[in-house]
Structure formats: C-alpha cells, structure tokens
Chains A and B, each alone.
Chain A
Amino acid sequence: MRFDVQPLIDDNQAQELRNLFSRRALIGGAVATGVLALPLSARAQTTPATGGGEAEITVDQARTAPIPIVIPSFGAGLGDQISGVVISDLEGTGLFKVMSGQVGVGGTPDFASLKAQGARAAVGGLASGSGSVRVEMRLWDVLAGEQLQGTAYTASSANWRRIAHIIADVIYERMLGEKGYFDTRLAYIARTGARHRQTTRLAIMDYDGANSRMLTSGEWLTLMPRFNPTRDQIAFLSYANDRPRVYVFDLASGRQRILGEFQGISFAPRFSPNGSQIVLSATRGGGSDLFLVDLGSGSKRQITSSGAIDTSPCFSPDGSQIVFVSDRGGTPQLYLMSASGGGAKRISYGQGTYGSPVWSPRGDLIAYTRLSGGRFALGVMGPDGTGERILTEGFTVEGPTFCPNGRVIAFCRQSAAGAGGAGFASGIGTIDITGFNERPVQTGTGASDPAWSPRDV
C-alpha cells in the first residue's frame, strides 16, 4: 500500500504548484505554464461579445431543462482531449445537454441547421501547437445568431486541462450568468490501508479528480484540510510527533508551520473571508473552546468558554458571524454567534444531532451533517435555521464544502465495514444544492475531507 510519492515536495513540484495557481503567468515569460487569454477578432457579420451580456437562462431553469449545446471536437489529439474535458465539465453539472455537430472556428456557423438540431448554443474550437498549445474558441447564441465569446488561449501543453476548464467556465458564465467552478481544486485526505489504521495524506487534485498529488508523507494521521481565500495555503490537522494540532501548508514553498500554541488538541480550522485569521477549536478539560488566531501577529483570542464541546466553526462570507457546533445543550447542535464571540443562539431543531456546518459563499445557506437513528444525512438550511432540506443520506455522509459559486457541494461518503473491515470504502461525492445530480469524484485512493478551493483571483 506504499505510494510512489515524495514525502515533501521538491522545488520543481513547488514551482509546478505555484504555476497551477496562477493564471496571470504569461507564456514566454519566466513562468511557462500559466494560461494567457486574448480576445479573437469579432467576425464582421456578428455582434461583438459585449463582455457582460445578460444570460437569458437561469440555473433553476436549466435544472429542469438542460441547455442543448453543440460542442464538436477541437481537433485531433490534444484538441480532442481538451473538448472532451469541456464537455465533461458542462455535462457534469446536469445543466447542459451536449450534442455533436458542425460548428468550426473560421466562419459563421450554419445557424439554420443548428436550430433544426435543437441547439440553443454552439461552440467552435481548434487547438494547435505542441510544446505550447493555442486554443481558439468561439461561443455562439444559435437563436440570436450572434457570437457571445471569442477567445484564444495559449499555455504550455502540459497545462491543457486548465485551458479546458477555463473554457468551460466561460461557457457556463455566458449561458447562465454566474461564474463557473471548473478551474478549481479540491484539497482532501487520501486514505490507504486497513481501516483500523489507515494511512492518511494531505492531497490536492483538480475538482474533477484529475492531477492528484500528495503533499505529506502519510507518517502521521492527517485530517481536515481547509483553503485560504487566495488558495495558496491549506490549514489542516496533523498528528505529527503525536501532538495533534493545526498546521498551515504553503503551496508555493511546500513548507508547513504550526499555528499557535494550545494546551490541548487544536483542530477544525477555517480561514476568515479576508484571510487574515483562522478560527479553530482547542480541547480543554471536558470540552473544547473556539479561538481566533491572527495569521500576521500570531496572537490568539478565545471566543467561547462554555465548558462544553464547541467545535466546527465557520465564518459567514461577510465575516460578521460564525456558525459552530456545541453540545452545551446536551447534544451536538448548530449555533450562530457574532464573529467576535458572544450572543450564541441555537439554529438547528430537526430530529437528531448536527455537525460540520459550512456557510455557502453566497451567504444564503448553511450546509451541515445530521445524524439520526445511526444514519447520516447531508442538508442545507437558511442561516436562521429555517427551510431545512435533506439533500442525500447514507451510512456516512459528512463534511460538506461549497464550490465557489455555491451551486454544488462536495462531501465525504463512507460505507459500513463488515468483518475485518471488508466492504469499507471512503470517497468524495458532489451534489447540487437542490439534491439533484449526485456524482462520485474519481480518486485513485480512498478519499475523505474534501475542501473546495476558491476561484482564481
């Protein structure tokens, strides 16, 4: 069950990680693996892309009637791989119905035949080059007969998946009026070995499971990774040297540091929306307290002292409130309080106990784990506790994390173990916030603790 990975990332890997997280890096410069996007000249016979056109279809409409869109291959070899990922991204949302057909990039497509085919939109794409690849892409509104987007992307061919995700993001945004989430990553915990003593590694992969890489060696139990807002750092819990506490991993340098000094176990970290603080819990006596740790000065401030277990804190996107779990009332339930501490108010009143709340980046929902009758469920509710909806259930489903536009949740799903641990499996799934389109993310190992990265800024 050993993995062929380096325990610590070397300089080359660090450079690679840095590049992966920087779209602004230009081709031909010191960094050759970023993606450069330039507008294509508009065709004379079409309306130029306005850059901020109103989408006519909403996500809610697309759920019931997926948008029919024609996407042909972007050419042989790499071109075909790129269009394949664009198609996979869009189809994976459940909001698009992708069809094959003729579009081309050289001229205006045959709108009449695309219309007859039932298409609402069409994409023309062509990839060229080998060491560095250039992809021309045009998105057409078939009904209006006009171009919505025309862009040429250039990058190292090693970065072809990223080009595909960026193109899919553009199509999603132009068609639905909201930013896509395909050019994002998941931090997670890779799990291997016998269930009673699993090897756990901090790992990172593209949102769709591609390009997975291990960031720690697996020597110590490692859990709960969380991205910072600029997605270049990951806070996580490591049992290094048998002293469980929160560390911050810097993706650019590959270095990690201990976050603050606590008497007990520090765990369950989350960055504040502006990235300047981490809220976490630390055990003490028969419970655990919540603390704010300032990343600049390292100073810490205790914000709960109930004597009970207070844990799983998460900021509201405006930074003004914190939702957390507490068993101060007898069983674990969700509470809301001011981000400076104080005024805690219980918000969960459904059947069973509650855990791992996470605030949607849109601010309108809190996703959580609920346990009832020995089974787990994943749900969402308004920040005031109203409108509770269960999205999915299972033996174990826990640890929700929102994609950057708040439309999809990733989570951990585990099956029950029989004798000797047989039948146990741990993986990552995604589901739309309406409970529709649940899908597994393919990972090469067992996986848990997904944390969705923010979008590139």
Chain B
Amino acid sequence: MKFKLFAALGLAVALAACSSDKNTGASTGAGATAQETGPAPGSEADLVANVGDRIFYALNESGLADDAKATLDKQAAWLARYPQVSVLIAGNCDDRGTEEYNIALGQRRANAARDYLVAKGVAASRISTISYGKDRPTADGDNEEAWSQNRNAITSVK
C-alpha cells in the first residue's frame, strides 16, 4: 500500500517536472490528462488525497503533537516539490470557547503550523494564515469527537 503510493507520487513528480515550463502544479488541465486517475499533482485535491491538509490540536492548545508534525513534514516536502504553490492555513476552534478568544486561538494555531513549515524550509512568503475562530466547524455535531475534529489548522492551495 505504502509502496504503491510512493510509486504513484514518483510518477506524478516526473510528469509535473516534464510539463513545468508551461504548466503550474496548481492547474488542473494538463496534469489531469497526463495521469490516469487521481488528482492533478500540486493541486488542492492532491494535497488532500496524498499529503493530508489538516492537523488537529488538543483542547485549548496550539502545541503540535507528533502526528501533526508528521503531517506538516509531508506538507513541507510537498511544498518543496511544487515551489510555485502558495497556501493558506486556516486555524479553527471547537465551540467551547468565546467567539473573541477563539479568533485569537485559531490564529495562534495557524501561526504554529506556519512557523513549523517555515522552519522546515518553506518560504514564509508562500504561506498566509487566517482564523475563523469557532465559526467554520468541520464537524457539525457537539460531542467530543466533533470538537476534536474542529480544533484544527487546514492548509489549502491559494
């Protein structure tokens, strides 16, 4: 499974390199036709499917857990592969905090993710950040499972 994924990524890199003169990784046209299945290399869908677009935080925390760092390591490698791609990191919170505090906490989370990527060599100019506080929950319910999903930083291609 893991081997197959790496093989597919290798192919994607090769294809992207071939067409990099005219074609940006973020575009969908040529990349999509070049690949039998799967998202265009360097695209948002590629990030979601093959890298992981989000990391999760503990309650009231902005510290990066080991699995969060592992995901960010993959994002850093992916961004190194597609240097033309810029991203937006959006910090979010569960709804167990006040609206105002959560705006700041979400931004703290987004900035923690950005700082980690920058430390891994991604140019700061390629990363912008935003916080939606508790106003853009990913999971709609109000239980521990939903809250743990809603405490996140989501990376998207700009």
Contact = CB atoms under 8 A, between A and B. Distances in A.
Interface residues of A, number: 50
A195 B142 CA distance: 11
Contacts of B142: 395, 416-418, 424
Nearest to A200: B135
Contacts of B135: 198, 200, 221, 223
Interface residues of B, number: 28
A351 B105 CA distance: 21
Interface string B104-143: 1101100110000000000000000011110111101110
A198 B135 CA distance: 8
A420 B88 CA distance: 26
Contacts, number: 108
B99 A196 contact: no
A283 interface: yes
A395 B143 CA distance: 12
B100 interface: yes
Interface stretch (A47-55, A75-83, A211-219, A260-268): A260-268
Given A355-B98, A449-B99, A418 B141 contact: yes
Contacts of B95: 396, 414
B58 to A, nearest CB: 14
Given A196-B136, A198-B135, A396-B95, A309 B141 contact: no
A196 B137 contact: yes
A362 B72 CA distance: 51
Contact of B99 (A224, A285, A288): A224
Contacts of B96: 371, 374
Contacts of B137: 195-196
A242 to B, nearest CB: 7
Contact of A264 (B97, B100, B107): B107
Interface string B73-116: 00000000000000010000001111111011101100110000
Contacts of B133: 223
Contacts of A417: 140-142
A250 to B, nearest CB: 24
A420 B142 CA distance: 10
B107 A369 contact: no
B60 interface: yes
A398 B141 contact: no
A146 B140 CA distance: 61
Given A283-B131, A371-B98, 19 more contacts: A221-B135, A223-B135, A267-B100, A268-B100, A283-B107, A287-B108, A288-B104, A309-B101, A311-B103, A311-B104, A312-B98, A331-B60, A355-B97, A355-B98, A396-B95, A399-B98, A414-B95, A421-B140, A424-B140
Interface of B: 60, 62, 88, 95-101, 103-105, 107-108, 111-112, 130-133, 135-138, 140-142
16 contacts: A195-B137, A198-B135, A221-B135, A244-B103, A265-B130, A267-B103, A268-B103, A281-B100, A283-B104, A283-B131, A311-B104, A331-B60, A353-B60, A353-B97, A369-B98, A419-B140
